[in-house]
Structure 1
């Protein structure tokens, strides 16, 4: 059984819970207890927890996250260990193609995946993303352009989008 390491990473929008396997980041989640417990349990069903820190990998995550919040990183270059259905993974990879500072509706994302009739499934997969910010589900908005549900709470989504649009710099 492969191992998984858990650590808390501080950001300007609160603590994030990081999980790393030998393949990459498996979780970067907000401190919302129900989601954390669910994702942690799924990960521990597949991996054995270790207290041996993969220092190089953790430091690279912290560096890239710091750079993102400082406005000097527009795209993350980190290995990911996605777990979910093949459709969910396809949605999450598609989210990574949305440019920094841009947004899309669920319909636009589904259409970009050549699955325009799968809007609800795309929305559900978006809601199951457990690698927040790095897999930028916050870039999805309602078809009217309004902010819609976000598992990390709407105020965080608003902060992230403002940061990406250059309207706000978040102190670190």
Structure 2
């Protein structure tokens, strides 16, 4: 399988989209200052659509995503990631709540671990999960990005409610 990469600039740094000819496989912050992978003539439509929708998200015009993607993990990780998709835009959940949602109340640490292995940032909204005490905890992209994403979504939701 040929792997393609496409970087986009966002308000919180470069976002790297990785995928095959037909689907997105990861969306991560690579912690580099400038994009390395620009759109080319052979960049698959799935990656281009993902980039367009990410730009709409960062511009406050999108709260859900509709492009082909695939995640690979254990059955447990897949359960957690599916439950993450149920956390509404501009809302937060807890690791404990996520563990309860999948019927594994005692697996809070394992839920946190699965959350941290999510490779589809923003689309599988692991940034919406916070500690039971309301504190921001663990985010592979950095806690400052997690805070920015949560504030961004709340601001977008506020604007939409006022319209």
Give the TM-score of the pair, scaled to structure 2.
Answer: 0.84
* Root mean square deviation of aligned Cα: 2.0
Q: Number of aligned pairs? A: 150
**Which of structure 1's runs of 4+ aligned residues deviate more than 3 A?**
none
CA contact (8 A) 2:25 2:71 kept: yes
Match of 2:36 in 1: none
Instruction: Report whether the alignment pairs 1:52 with 2:42.
Output: yes
The Cα of 1:52 is off from its aligned counterpart by: 3.3
TM-score for both structures, normalised by structure 1: 0.80
1: CA distance between counterparts of 2:86 and 2:73? Answer: 19
Q: Which residue of 2 aligns with 1:122?
A: 111
* Greater Cα offset, 148-157 or 24-33: 24-33
Structure 2 runs not aligned, ≥5 long: 33-40, 158-163
Residues 88, 22 of structure 1: CA spacing in aligned structure 2 closer, same or farther, 3 A cutoff?
A: farther
Alpha-carbon distance in 2 for matches of 1:141, 1:61: 26
Moved more, 20-29 or 122-131: 20-29
- The higher relative CO (CA closer than 8 Å, separation ≥ 6) is in 1
Aligned counterparts, 1:78-89, within 5 A: 78-89=67-78
In structure 2, how many angstroms separate the alpha carbons of the residues matched to 1:32 and 1:25?
20
Aligned partners of 1:121 and 1:106: how far apart in 2? 9
Paired residue for 2:143, among 130, 143, 154? Answer: 154
Segment of structure 1 superposing worse, 78-87 or 135-144: 78-87
The answer (yes or no) to whether the contact 2:14–2:31 under 8 Å persists in 1 is: no
- Quote the Cα distance in structure 1 between the aligned partners of 2:22 and 2:135: 36
Q: Does 1:94 align with 2:83?
A: yes
Name the structure 2 match of 1:43. none
Secondary structure of the structure 1 residue equivalent to 2:155: coil
Residues 1:71 and 2:64 are matched in the alignment: no
Distance 1:90 1:57 in 2: 24
